[in-house]
Amino acid sequence: MTSHIMPTYGRLPVTFYKGEGAWLWDEQGERYLDTLSGIAVCNLGHAHPAVHTAICEQSKRLLHTSNIYGIAVQEQLASKLTEKSGMDNVFFCNSGAEANEAAIKLARKFGHQSGIENPAILVMEKSFHGRTLATLSATGNVKVQQGFAPLVEGFIRVPYNDINAISQALEQHKNIVAILVEPIQGEGGVNIPAQDYLSRIRELCDQYNILMMLDEIQTGIGRTGKFLAFQHTDIKPDVCTLAKALGNGVPIGACLARGIAAQTLTAGTHGSTFGGNPLACSAALAVLKTLEDDNLIDLATQKGNAICSALRDKLQNNEHVIDVRNKGLMIGIELDKPCAELVTMALHQHLLINVTNEKTIRLLPPLIINEQQIDQLVTTLSMIITEYTAQSL
């Protein structure tokens, strides 16, 4: 049968019908263990009752009005998010790319207000910020940009996890108004920077009077063992973007701002028809409440560490495994060669994983993954890694 979907995705040969927690069932009734969570989206697992109830109840009353009216659940969600993050206010949208678009516009406006006519944003190699024109221009991956020239101007790029490179760029380019960076790079290969990376960036931003903007779209909402990844440090950014797990599958994005950055986008300067509508906000409120009620964020650290130490144990004699690293349940297993085939091998074993940056297996299990599921993940994954690295010697 010919598909009428634009072929923008290379799809795996499986179609899911229903889910529950970390399990998914395909149309034939076969069960799979989901350790990817729709790429860090379903952090509470599939068909979570709290989210289900929230969106059912909300849909009986109101799905949408407009941002030209007050929206009570949007106000509640903004209070909750600012309270939990230490930020001042929020702009709501529908995706990660849109949250970053808001941040990019905010930074440019901030620049113009400080008298900089040609503002630039400092971004990183191997970064991922989305697929819209501005966010793909900010992304540090030529494959994402290929074929879409002319790119959006106003981005200057330096290597990730290199403070000296940032210092030099700031010295050299007086038009830099903001630094946009992921606390841990997800698509770029689960790259965890030096422990003081974010605090050194904060110092430089203060010194040069520019905005520190964190893309927490993948790292946020409990994924790394804190509500937001920057909360592993004692600094705060000026701008922080969220999406993915915020609605556990209901599309919602958010751009949080603090201090002067919170005063930059004023009436009429930005907008979104759907952004922050009652349906999406009620889902997000249920997500935040469940994370708290079930203490899931602290558990993410324990579970992530348990998965990694068990994997290290099983793979300790495999010289093709270069590194097993994690922050909470954001996990990377780096091999010494390309390993995209592992995704299909895992699928045959009814395990859903991902490979990023060619050589790094990426696991983003739901925060509700249980002990038996962790055992199954470790056993199956170490088995296929062993098989794969042995066969292709």
Residues annotated within a binding site for pyridoxal 5'-phosphate: 96-97, 128, 215-218, 273
Contact 245, 41 (CB under 8 A): yes
Question: Residue 179: helix, strand or coil by DSSP?
Answer: strand
Among 58, 85, 95, 389, binds ligand PLP (CB under 6 A): 95
- The annotated binding site is made up of 96-97, 128, 131, 215-218, 272-273
354 binds ligand PLP (CB under 6 A): no
Among 74, 218, 360, 382, binds ligand PLP (CB under 6 A): 218
Give start and end residues of each alpha helix (H) in 20-149: 37-40, 49-61, 72-85, 96-113, 133-138, 142-145
182 binds ligand PLP (CB under 6 A): yes
**What one-letter code names the amino acid at 33?**
L
Contact 230, 183 (CB under 8 A): yes
222 binds ligand PLP (CB under 6 A): no
Rounded least distance, CB 364 to ligand PLP, Å: 10
Contact 298, 279 (CB under 8 A): no
For CA atoms 76, 279, 229, 293, give the dihedral sign. Answer: positive
β-strand partners of 16: 26
The interface region with ligand PLP, picked from 6-14, 159-167, 214-222, 254-262 by CB under 6 A, is 214-222
372: enclosing H helix or E strand: helix 371-391
Residue 352 phi, psi dihedral angles, 5° rounding: -100, 115
Annotated catalytic residue: which of 110, 155, 215, 303?
215
- Interface pattern 237-276 for ligand PLP (x via CB under 6 A): ------xx--------------------------------
Does 327 participate in catalysis according to the annotation?
A: no
97 binds ligand PLP (CB under 6 A): yes
101 binds ligand PLP (CB under 6 A): no
How many residues lie near ligand PLP (CB under 6 A)? 15
Q: Among residues 101 and 334, whose Cβ is nearest to ligand PLP?
A: 101
Does 238 participate in catalysis according to the annotation?
A: no
Round to the nearest angstrom and report the end-to-end CA distance of the chain: 39
Does 91 participate in catalysis according to the annotation?
A: no
| Percentages (nearest 5) of helix, strand, coil residues in the chain | 40, 20, 40
- Known catalytic residues? 128, 215, 244
Contacts with ligand PLP, residue ranges (CB under 6 A)? 95-97, 100, 128-130, 182, 186-187, 215, 217-218, 243-244
